[in-house]
A = this chain, B = another copy of it.
């Protein structure tokens, strides 16, 4: 069989797209993850749009820390209002780490310390949940 460059490119693209979209590959890519670090911030000025933007901008600087395997930044979602749902926070950060050691590296990282120093005046309360992923 003779295969053209275009065919090769298409097959690679197809293979690539297939891999990029399959849940199996996401699992493979995250196979080493075993720690989730989820932080919720309540602003001193609850609901303040400028303060929220400042905090979100500060959190984005954490993307420079390579120990973080995945970082998602968010705000309360528009899901159903139920008694068990706490939607009172203003901003949240969700991180995945490969290990407790990597999490410690992040905590001590100059970029993290700079973030806390430049943004801590914005928040009234912080709650952190650290979760060890149970396999299976």
Contacts and interface: CB of A to CB of B under 8 A. Distances in A.
Contacts of A15: 12, 15-16
Q: How large is the interface on A (under 10, 10 to 19, 20 to 34, 35 or more residues)?
A: 35 or more
A20 B11 contact: no
Contacts of A8: 3, 7-8, 11
A92 B38 CA distance: 12
Contact of A12 (B12, B22, B35): B12
Interface in A12-63: 12, 15-16, 19-23, 25-26, 28-30, 35-38, 40, 56, 60
Given A72-B36, A72-B133, A21 B29 contact: yes
Contacts of A115: none
